[in-house]
Structure 1
Amino acid sequence: MSNDELDAMRTRLSPAQEARAEQCRFVLRGGRRVATTGRSRALLSGSDEVLITVIYLRQVCPQKVLCDLLGINPVTISQAIKATRQLMDEEKISITPTVVRSFTRADDLRAWETSTDPAAHTPAHPTLRALTAPHLTGMNRDQLDSLLEKLIGPYAAAIEQRRHQRGSTRRPGTRGGVFRQKITDGDRTLATILYQRRVCTLNVLAELFNVSKSTLWNAINDVMPVLDTHNAPITPTDHRYLTAADLLASIQAPQGPPPLGNQHVDS
């Protein structure tokens, strides 16, 4: 979001944050406020809490990376995110996860943010961003990002509805400061697009996304109904790569992928 949009969210949440903070102070004091000579300051302001919660919900990085970046203990970060997330839910504010950019080290995120050439600094798993190449997805990256952002909301809602039907109250991304999923929602959708495009086999995709075949297959089965419901323009490609190495080599090639020729691979 833009800075103005972020500031508007902070303004919208500020009254609820202040009310929550005053309630906490009341409980800690055991009664009404009394005059004091000084006032302790919280490590994070309300605006800070909104910012780190947005970054976390965007799945830019796990809580551990936020702790390393800010020099704040995990309990403070976790409590801030939990409380702010609850306020966002009450205000019906939803945050769309980012598309294939999950930093697992503070140094990587810091280098990317401060660099004059952000593209030169990639996450710990740069392969995933490479898989968004236009000749693989059948669309340019702006079109892909737009499609993924359009689909991630309905996909998350479908998964949450399924959890509710099963009687589960567990929320994604809340265990131990790391993302619960082995791959993010954006990665799941990207993998499904590549699978439906018949870019490569399921085994190759599992290798590229660094997950088991069963994990990836479950993810694809979750995403495909959402793609079908939204009539996403996914068309089969003319070339199917037999190995992960061949697929990655095509991304570096100066020209498009080679012709299909006589190669054929069964599903």
Structure 2
Amino acid sequence: MLPLPPVEHDVHGQWNYTLLHEPATARTPQATGEAHGIAERRRVLLARLADPRLTGLTSTQLAKSCIELAPLQAARSQERYSQQRGGRARRATGKLRGSKPLFDDAARVMLTLLYQRQVCSMKLLSDMLEVTPECIGHLVTETRRVLENQGHQPGYAPTRFTTTPDLLAFLDTAAIPPRTRIMESLSHPRLTGMSHEDLDSLARRLAPRQAAQTEHTSYQRRGADRQPGSRGGVFPQKIGDKDRVILAVLYLRKLCTLDVLADTLGDVSRSSIGNVVHEIRPLLMEGRHLPPRATTRYRSAADLLAAAHNEDNTPTG
């Protein structure tokens, strides 16, 4: 009996292959074509995701950062391999793995920046790139440590996306999702009582505390330390860090009720916003950043949004 001809895939072909029931010459183009199609779609999408509006860096700045971080990424990879082996390598170091990595160093930096800037969730990135969320989670965990060690502060993206069509539409036509326009209105100084610069600064100062608070809550739910290899730091998909600060500030200023805020956002429940206020209030109190009470109170979502664009701050009831 003749052996079945294997057709290696583009990614990890040493163990990812297909056994054909007929000569390889008759089926190879179809099998490799599918793998090439995925790789090509991924390559095109990565190029689009490197948009400065998403990464917060120009193409030149991003390329420079990738070059500077490459040695640190290599050292981090060797450290991870050593931990997996439980000791030093038994043969010479170098490119021991013959297969090409799924994402190169530049792509890993870019994807980590997108996640840190809360452009979208890991789940959305994995769906778009046709990989598992664990794949994105591991590369973000490793690269984020390198960026943090270098003191890089990516900040927050002005626009967040929860669906692939919204993100692609933004890249094609600069179409802004409705939620982003709503949050831009709610962040108006007339409502928050502070300038956009002060609000951004406050959100950045509270970001580490929010992350620590989230990890503490996760620890209480787990009842134990996080398992090795698991990914942490997953930001809430519905409400980002800066948006959480804005909602808490508006409520603590007594501008409106939780119901009005929920009606304004449209896709977030009253209880979710209540949880946000409950979590952010102690952080504001610790830093003595509790906002002063407003003199105007709005009874509906329409009145609240209109107040951001009107010069008159007359109460509605």
TM-score, normalised on structure 1? 0.72
Query: 2:79, 2:218 → 1: CA distance?
Result: 29
Letter matched to residue 185 of structure 1:
D
Any stretches of 5+ residues in structure 2 without a counterpart?
1-55
Query: 2:100, 2:250 → 1: CA distance?
Result: 50
1:260 aligns with 2:315: yes
Q: CA deviation at 1:154?
A: 2.0
Equivalent of residue 222 in structure 1, options 279, 283, 302: 279
* Structure 1 residues 180-259: aligned runs within 5 Å: 180=236, 182-209=238-265, 210-232=267-289, 234-251=291-308, 253=309, 255-259=310-314
Which residue number corresponds to residue 108 of structure 1?
166
Q: CA deviation at 1:79?
A: 4.0
Q: Deviations over 1:4-61 (max 9, x none)?
A: 784487246323244158669999xx9747xx9x953223112311221221132111
Q: CA deviation at 1:139?
A: 1.9
Q: CA deviation at 1:168?
A: 4.9
> Counterpart of 1:200 in 2: which secondary structure?
coil
Relative distance call for 1:165 and 1:25 in structure 2 (3 A) is closer
Relative distance call for 1:78 and 1:159 in structure 2 (3 A) is closer
Any stretches of 5+ residues in structure 1 without a counterpart?
none
1:196/1:234 contact within 8 Å kept: yes
> Counterpart of 2:295 in 1: which secondary structure?
coil
Query: 2:315, 2:207 → 1: CA distance?
Result: 32
Relative distance call for 1:59 and 1:129 in structure 2 (3 A) is same
For the aligned residue pairs, the C-alpha RMSD in angstroms reads 3.9
Which residue number corresponds to residue 120 of structure 2?
61
Relative distance call for 1:61 and 1:181 in structure 2 (3 A) is closer
- With 230-239 and 156-165 compared, the bigger mean Cα shift is at 156-165
Identity %: 30
Equivalent of residue 135 in structure 1, options 168, 187, 190: 190
Query: 2:193, 2:71 → 1: CA distance?
Result: 39
Q: Deviations over 1:112-143 (max 9, x none)?
A: 4566xx5xx32352322321112111122222
TM-score, normalised on structure 2? 0.62
Which residue number corresponds to residue 106 of structure 2?
47
Query: 2:91, 2:211 → 1: CA distance?
Result: 42
Equivalent of residue 73 in structure 2, options 14, 18, 38: 14
Query: 2:211, 2:83 → 1: CA distance?
Result: 32
Q: Deviations over 1:159-189 (max 9, x none)?
A: 3245446635466554xxxx54542222221
Q: CA deviation at 1:87?
A: 6.0
1:144 aligns with 2:199: yes
Q: CA deviation at 1:105?
A: 3.1
Query: 1:31, 1:187 → 2: CA distance?
Result: 50
Relative distance call for 1:163 and 1:218 in structure 2 (3 A) is same
* Structure 1 residues 72-83: aligned runs within 5 Å: 72-74=130-132, 76-83=135-142
Q: Deviations over 1:217-263 (max 9, x none)?
A: 12111111111111226122221110011112233x4x3243237x3
Letter matched to residue 216 of structure 1:
I
Relative distance call for 1:64 and 1:160 in structure 2 (3 A) is closer
- Equivalences, count: 247
> Counterpart of 1:194 in 2: which secondary structure?
helix
Letter matched to residue 254 of structure 2:
R
2:66/2:109 contact within 8 Å kept: no
Relative distance call for 1:12 and 1:230 in structure 2 (3 A) is farther
Query: 2:239, 2:261 → 1: CA distance?
Result: 12
Q: Deviations over 1:184-205 (max 9, x none)?
A: 2222211110011112111111
Query: 2:152, 2:277 → 1: CA distance?
Result: 23
Query: 1:168, 1:219 → 2: CA distance?
Result: 24
Which one scores higher on RCO, CA 8 angstroms, separation ≥ 6? 1
